[in-house]
Amino acid sequence: MRRVLPFIANPEYAFTAPWLAALQAAMPQETLVALDDMSEAERAGCTVAIVANPRPEDLRRLPNLRWVHSVWAGVERLVADLADMKLQIVRLVDPQLADTMAEAVLAWTFYLHRDMPRYAAQQAAREWRAQDYVRAQDKTVSLLGLGALGEAAARRLLAAGFKVRGWSRTRKAIDGVQCHTGEDELGAMLAQTDILVCLLPLTPQTAGIVDTQVLAQLPAHASLINFARGAIVDDTALRAALERGALAHAVLDVFAVEPLPADSWHWAHPRVTVLPHISAPTDRSTASRIVAANLAAYRESGAIPPCVDAARGY
């Protein structure tokens, strides 16, 4: 019997064929297949699958599955969907993805730092007015989350001259970055923040964590960038903070409901920049090489790469 490796995505996912091609190119020794192309015996012999937001019922068709390798970095949906399946989840950790995210954080930090939303509004009003210039080294960018993406963003921001702070569940040590942990230190960090960047995973602990209280601790001129997950920010609190002038601007790449519904308040809000979840797309070729290396190690030694901690949710 041939040994096959399934790639399982939601049937509506438009990029299954390109993923199959990229994964196959990175793993010539494997036979990549779609779930429906596997025989019953092949499904019974399968212990690992590569997944992109699969339907849980599809994974249940593989009775001896031990682990899944996601091609996404954010796996909150997989963690929730597979809670009763005792499956180990490996998420994508790709330096290219971290680099792409760091670039996006820098780009949109510059957008806020150089007052682009305000100059766009002034242009629309035919208003010729210079705002005060504040140097990057006099601005503090604070990161919620100092993981694979947050740390890469911190380094890029430092190199661009900003003061950088970061907050994580456990304390980090990153040269040049003032690292914080715990609720008290979060407050201290927020009070010193000009631009707050969210790069937390969505978990039961982080859902709605950017709430009225967190937003109230930011200086009124501060702005928010959310490149993580929409549900981490309390949308009602965000709108209220923007409307009472307690927050200058929000750059939002992620939303509780995506695609963002046409009647959503965010679209036309003068203090909101809407992006269609584009800050850091997975690169199929680098991701496939990383998945390939993890699979090769598993085939050789049975070792499963570091997995998502189900209790922590990330």
- Binding residues for ligand NAP, rule CB under 6 A, total 27
| Interacting residues with ligand NAP between 67 and 106 (CB under 6 A) | 73-74
H or E stretch at 142: strand 140-144
> Using alpha carbons only, how large is the chain's radius of gyration in Å?
22
Min. distance of Cβ 128 from ligand NAP in angstroms?
36
228 binds ligand NAP (CB under 6 A): yes
Beta strand pairing call for 223-226 and 249-252: parallel
199 binds ligand NAP (CB under 6 A): yes
Of 3-11, 13-21, 222-230, 295-303, which part binds ligand NAP (CB under 6 A)?
222-230
CA angle 289, 295, 298 (to 5 degrees): 150
Min. distance of Cβ 2 from ligand NAP in angstroms?
34
Q: Which is nearer to ligand NAP, 4 or 93 (CB)?
A: 93
| The pair of three-digit structure tokens given for residue 209, joined into one six-digit string | 């964590």
Whether 277 is catalytic: yes
Phi then psi for residue 138, to 5 deg, are: -100, 10
Whether 229 is catalytic: yes
How far apart are alpha carbons 225 and 231 in whole angstroms?
14
- The DSSP symbol for 190 reads H
**From candidates 227, 255, 286, 298, binder to ligand NAP by CB under 6 A:** 227
Site string for ligand NAP, 113-142 (x = CB under 6 A): ------------------------------
Q: What sign has the CA pseudo-torsion 16, 19, 23, 24? A: positive
Site string for ligand NAP, 55-74 (x = CB under 6 A): ------------------xx
- Long-range (24+ apart) CB contacts under 8 A made by 284-287 are 284/15, 284/18, 284/19, 284/22, 284/71, 285/22, 285/25, 285/26, 286/94, 286/95, 286/96, 286/97, 287/22, 287/71, 287/92, 287/94, 287/96, 287/97
**From candidates 142, 168, 223, 286, binder to ligand NAP by CB under 6 A:** 168
260 binds ligand NAP (CB under 6 A): no
Are residues 276 and 251 in contact, defined by beta-carbon separation less than 8 angstroms?
no
277 binds ligand NAP (CB under 6 A): yes
Which has the closest alpha carbon to 194: 110, 106, 273, 113? 113
**From candidates 109, 206, 286, 288, binder to ligand NAP by CB under 6 A:** 206
146 binds ligand NAP (CB under 6 A): yes
How far apart are alpha carbons 152 and 29 in whole angstroms?
33
**From candidates 140, 150, 230, 248, binder to ligand NAP by CB under 6 A:** 150
Min. distance of Cβ 68 from ligand NAP in angstroms?
16
Query: Cβ-count burial of 231 within 10 angstroms (0-12 exposed, 13-18 middle, 19+ buried)?
Result: middle
Catalytic choice (66, 118, 169, 277): 277
145 binds ligand NAP (CB under 6 A): yes
List, by residue number, the catalytic residues: 229, 277
Binding residues for ligand NAP, per CB under 6 A? Answer: 73-74, 145-150, 168-170, 199-203, 205-206, 227-229, 253-254, 277, 279-280, 314
